[in-house]
Amino acid sequence: MSNKISIILCSFNEAKHIENAIIQLEKHIPNLELVIVDDFSTDGTIELLNKLNINKRFKLIIRKKGKGLASAFFRGLIETSGDYIGWIDTNMGEVSEKFSEMINELNNDSDIVILSRYVKGGGDNRVFLRSMGSKIFNTFCRLLFRMPTKDLTSSIFLMKRHIIDEVTFLCYGHGEFFIEFLYNTYRKGFKIKEIPYIQKKDEDDSDSKSAPNLLKFFFHGTMYILRAFVTVFRRKN
């Protein structure tokens, strides 16, 4: 019997993307346990999920107050029961086909597998400032943490269940919690494997939306940097 795969899908106003993400995950992952955590969306996401009868097939958690991405991930983590546990951004359903390769790596000797933009064969097709900013930040973190992993801000990963019992998670902030988690995983001696993928240009990278989204990107980037320094400082003390 194949391993049970738990995937956590965190949503907030993802009506445009969430149905496709669910379809792609069901198509490419056998023995799927899908846990959807919605942070009280106001764009019709909840209504769409109810229309699709998601709560009859998978686990659907609707929070009455938005508490952020990290908190949503950990809420979903509590509900998982799979042998392997993963996470994917709601707007990246098209990369679900990569999960078969990720599962194979875990079936061998890897403990966590990341889809990486910065290994050979990977790439980032978002607007220049976002892609370059992300690459510079990842290089900075690699040097700060002294670890070989090249994509510390990946939004797609799959890990063996035992890791959550042995590696510390801190459930606050945005996606920066994943940087700290990877650092702690590496310090524990677990094997991290990176598989290449190419990140497509975001719909939100259009000219009419680029300015506000870049501001949001640089704000989160600042939070990531602060979290990186706090992570190293905490380790030294």
Integer Rg of the chain from CA: 17
What digits encode the pLDDT tens for the residues 66-110?
778 888 999 999 999 999 999 999 988 889 999 999 999 999 999
Q: What is the CATH number of the domain that holds 107?
A: 3.90.550.10
Q: What is the pLDDT of residues 124-176, one digit of tens each?
A: 998 888 888 888 888 988 888 889 999 998 889 999 999 999 997 766 666 67
pLDDT at 229 over 70: no
Burial class (CB in 10 A: 0-12, 13-18, 19+), 92: buried
**Is there a domain that residue 209 lies in?**
no
Q: Is residue 224 part of a domain?
A: no
Helix or strand or coil: residue 159?
Answer: strand
Q: Is 223 domain-assigned?
A: no
Residue 212 counted as domain residue: no
In a domain, 236, yes or no: no
Residue 167 within any structural domain of the chain: yes
- For residue 193, pLDDT over 60 is answered with yes
How many Å apart are CA 187 and CA 227, to the nearest integer?
17
Lowest-confidence region among 121-125, 186-190, 204-208:
204-208
Distance CA 53, CA 228 (A): 40
Nearest Cα neighbor of 24 from 80, 113, 96, 128 is: 96
CA distance 71 to 77: 10
Torsion of CA 73, 180, 21, 99, to 10 degrees: -120
In a domain, 217, yes or no: no
What's the structural domain count of the chain? 1
Residue 49, domain extent: 5-126+151-202
Residues in the chain: 237
Give pLDDT, residue 211: 42
What letter would DSSP give residue 98? Answer: G
Does residue 36 sit within a domain?
A: yes
Which has more confidence, 68 or 13?
13
